[in-house]
Amino acid sequence: MSGNTAVTRRSRAAEVRLAARDPAAWTSAYLRKAAVADVACALVAGVLALAAYDVHYHSWTHQAAAYLAFTAVLPILWWASVAVAGGYDSRFIGVGSDEFRRVLNAAVSLTAGVAIISYALKLEFARGYVVVALPSATVFDLVVRHRLRRRLHRLRSRGACMRRVVAIGHAPAVADLVAELGRGTYHGLSVVGACLAGGTMLNEIA
């Protein structure tokens, strides 16, 4: 057990060092994990909805094959909807509500799209399936993204996954900003230099 614990600690330390060295690497890794989580959440939601449909009708009919096909396609549709809604924008990683709001926007857009296509093509799509599938995908995705954010905040508390920035302004305001960002590492901003009013440039702020 102690050996496994030591290996786990070394792997976490290596992850922290890598994230600290290459901001682009951790950003890409985070977005990849978010995309995989989105697809997985939609797949689980689709399977749950399919199971609920099967229990409700107590039989496997020819129409159920259409729901099986939609369940298989749902993860792709969900991923595309989140992408179009800006759910993979690196600017909103780890802070603010925009990341979660964009997932909600994706859910609303996809629900509306399914409703419009069903009406236009006169598809008899069971409301029960849609009511289970899309809200479940939304809830699962929000929960998973929240967990990803908490993990990111833990890494940032160790000095990893930070973006380097330069503070600009008057000396008192810059000092307050540096102190605030130092206390709230979850913001993910590390001030490495300052340009003070009057043209003074300070580098390598500790």
pLDDT digit string (tens) for 140-180? 999 999 999 999 888 888 877 777 777 777 777 777 777 77
DSSP state of 35: H
Task: Select from 73, 74, 103 the least CA-distant residue to 88.
Answer: 103
Find all residues with CB under 8 Å of 11, minimum gap 6, and list them: none
pLDDT exceeds cutoff 80 at 188: no
- For residues 118 and 120, give the distance between their C-alpha atoms in angstroms, rounded to a whole number: 6
pLDDT at 178 (0 to 100): 77
**CA 78/CA 136 separation, integer angstroms:** 12
pLDDT at 27 over 90: no
What pLDDT is attached to residue 55?
A: 52
Does residue 80 have a pLDDT over 80?
Answer: yes
Whether residue 47 has pLDDT greater than 60: yes
Domain coordinates in residue numbering, the chain: 2-157, 163-203
Tokens representing residue 62 in the block:
């020819």
Determine the average pLDDT of the residues in 61-69. Answer: 72
